[in-house]
Amino acid sequence: MSFLSYLLNGISLGSVYAIIALGYTMVYGIAKMLNFAHGDVIMVGAYVAFTAIMSAGFSSLPAVLLAILVCTVLGVVIETIAYRPLLEASSSLAVLITAIGVSYFLQNVVLLIFGANPKSFQSVVHFKGISLAGGALTISGETIVTILCGILVMVVLTTFIGHTKQGQAMLAVSEDKGAAQLMGINVNGTIALTFAIGSGLAAIAGVLLCSCYPVLTPYTGSMPGIKAFTAAVFGGIGSIPGAFLGGLILGVIEILAKAYISSQLSDAIVFAVLIIVLLVKPTGLLGKKTREKV
């Protein structure tokens, strides 16, 4: 019985990683860049929702929508100002470093506006969850909503990319930017759209993250961001179902390692598993094998 509740806890944690990982993998898969500021966009989204609920008296849903709107705009602005000039001009390493810079910039701006005191985030999920086996097993409302959101986002993204014109354009850009441009695809617009969607997802992830784990500081996004990035690599970066699967597995491994091996070693174990998986399957669980043409 306790194994089952550990498993549920793992799925609950994993579903949060999964929904963050979806944003990471989407941007990487299409724009071919690691947006290390993704974790901090999550944090911004959470702060927007927090302020809307606590100070402006919004109810949950409008607050979440506002957070999505702000983050979408923020994502596009970051892409236009910080990444696009570099994507065109220089190496991917410069973009990576810029992303780290944007990450610190966002943290410090939020620090300046909201101060350093941790805020306690009120959950946006208002139903209490399900109790099974006479209270021995509980699944919280947040977990249910997070998993459902994760699945929904995954399905919508896959459908969008596979079945719409814009989605096809994204696929084309991810395959070959130059060729896509020659075919008349607006490459910059497509990448901006990718960032808009990725950042909108980040807002949802931020609200769900803070609903499950209710402390909000300017650094809230960074560690879950790194874990989720790991999950995305684990599942095969660029693959949308892979990110979801990677997130879930990572969460379960983390909780089971804490429960059965050592609460001190859990992170070490998580990353050791990652190394082993990547040694055996370098592209991740569901990653595509790509052959370099010479």
Partner 1 sequence: MKKMRLAAAVAFAAAMAMSVTAMADDTFKIGGIGPLTGGAAIYGNAVMNAAQIAVDEINEAGGIAGVQVEFMPQDDEHDAEKSVSAYNKLKDDGMQILLGTVTSTPCVAVSAEAANDNLFLLTPSGSSPDAIAAGDNAFRICFSDPDQGYASAQYIEEHQLAKKVGVIYNSSDVYSTGILATFQAGAAEASFELLDPQAFTDDSKTDFSAQLQYLKDNGAELVFLPIYYDAASVILTQAAGMDFAPIWFGVDGMDGILTMEGFNYDLAEGVMLLTPFSADAEDELTQNFVASYQDKYGEIPNQFAADAYDGIYTIKAAIEQAGVTPDMSISDICDGLKAAMTEIEVTGVTGTMTWTADGEPNKSPKAVVIENGVYVSAE
**Which chain residues interact with partner 1 by CB under 8 A?**
2, 5-6, 9, 12-13, 50, 54, 111, 115-122, 129, 135, 138, 140, 209, 212-217, 219, 223-224, 254-255, 258-259, 262-264, 266-267
What minimum distance in Å lies between the beta carbon of 138 and partner 1? 6
| Separation of alpha carbons 167 and 194, rounded Å | 9
- Scored b (16 or more CB within 10 A) or e, 150-181 reads beebbeebeeebeeeeebebbebbbeebeebe
Q: Which is nearer to partner 1, 260 or 280 (CB)?
A: 260
**Measuring CA to CA, which residue among 16, 14, 13, 60 is closest to residue 208?**
16
What minimum distance in Å lies between the beta carbon of 262 and partner 1? 8
Asked if 42 and 205 count as a contact pair (C-beta separation under 8 A), the reply is yes
To the nearest 10°, report the CA torsion of 172, 173, 179, 181.
120
CB atoms within 10 A of CB 50: 21
Q: Which is nearer to partner 1, 155 or 215 (CB)?
A: 215
What minimum distance in Å lies between the beta carbon of 274 and partner 1? 15
What minimum distance in Å lies between the beta carbon of 60 and partner 1? 14
Q: Which is nearer to partner 1, 31 or 67 (CB)?
A: 67
Q: Which is nearer to partner 1, 2 or 91 (CB)?
A: 2
Q: Which is nearer to partner 1, 55 or 91 (CB)?
A: 55
What minimum distance in Å lies between the beta carbon of 15 and partner 1? 12
Grouping H, G, I as helix, E, B as strand and the rest as coil, residue 77 is helix
